[in-house]
Amino acid sequence: MDILIDGLPATRDDLAHMALANYGAYTSFRVEDGGVRGLDLHLQRLARQAIELFGKAPADGLFRDLMRSALAGRRDAWLRISLFSRHITHRDASWVGAPSVMIAVADPPPPLAGPLRLQVQTYAREAPELKHTATFGLMRARRAAKAAGFDDALFADVGGVISEGSLWNIAFLAGETVIWPQAPMLAGVAQALMDARLAGVGLRSETRLVRVDDLPAFDGAFICNSATPACPVEAVGSCVFANRPSCMARVIQAGSLTSPEPI
């Protein structure tokens, strides 16, 4: 893995700060033949998060310039872009300004292989609308789900309202309709891209409150994120969904319809 900060190789002090002061935001995605699906959405979200967390966004065009420099001609890769500031520490968190940009470049991971079995856990991310770097709760939830014999964790609040998963969004199938949960969560780029393409494969979509008690009424479910445009869910807890391969094939097709945007 190669790591650059503001276009230069990361130093030991840089990485030590990142390890000790866990304040920032990030996005990550697959680079395919020099392009990224939903790149504008990723970068717009980074800019919004920079303003909310640091008070100022990096200059227009900087993200793309740093991405091209970090890739160094590679056409296929996995990129994580992180925002942080060396000036923000546990002793003094008052600094305001444009954050530094860290880019990590690695080989692209394979998409998740399903179908998945998910464990419902009562949990909500802090500031769920942000893709921030506080991931302790997510990793702890995934470990607990794995230890219990599941593939991953699905989050619901104390009233049983379903929101999101550890590193992905979820949708449920009811006939020809894809239902996205309505709850405090991160609005994922893959979710937005999928939703925009569902009509093209003959599926409708809606967003509404989904509770754990509603699960037996659904025909199926799938998860999506930038590494996995669509992966079927076999079961949530003790609720096993019906096998609808034709509908899931259309969902998977919708996930592949968006072309990568050149960097």
User: Is it true that 2-106 and 116-262 share their CATH fold?
Assistant: no
Q: CATH topology for 116-262?
A: D-amino Acid Aminotransferase; Chain A, domain 2 (3.20.10)
Residue 164: count of CB within 10 angstroms of its CB: 25
The Cα 137–Cα 127 span in angstroms is 12
Note the pLDDT of residue 111: 85
pLDDT above 90 covers what percent of the chain? Answer: 90
Report pLDDT for 259. Answer: 93
206-226 pLDDT tens trace: 999 999 999 999 999 999 999
pLDDT, one tens digit per residue, over 85-99 is: 999 999 999 999 999
pLDDT at residue 145 in the model = 98
Residues 47 and 41: their CA atoms lie apart, in Å, by 10
Sign for the CA dihedral angle at 181, 221, 191, 3 comes to positive
What is the rounded average pLDDT of the residues 157-168?
96
Sequence-ordered list of residues with C-beta below 8 angstroms from that of 73, at least 6 positions apart, any chain = none
Please state the domain extents for the chain: 2-106, 116-262
2-106: CATH topology: D-amino Acid Aminotransferase; Chain A, domain 1 (3.30.470)
Instruction: Find residue 84's DSSP bridge partners.
Output: 100
As a whole number, mean pLDDT of residues 120-139 equals 95
Question: Beta strand pairing status for 231-236 and 239-240?
Answer: antiparallel
The average confidence (pLDDT) of the chain is 95
Convert the pLDDT of each residue in 10-60 to its tens digit: 999 989 998 898 999 999 999 999 999 999 999 999 999 999 999 999 998
Cis peptide bond upstream of 115, omega within 30: yes
pLDDT in tens, 223-240: 999 999 999 999 999 999
Report the 10 Å Cβ neighbour count for 124: 17
Secondary structure, 3-state, 154-185: EEECCCCEEEEECCCEEEEEECCEEEEECCCC
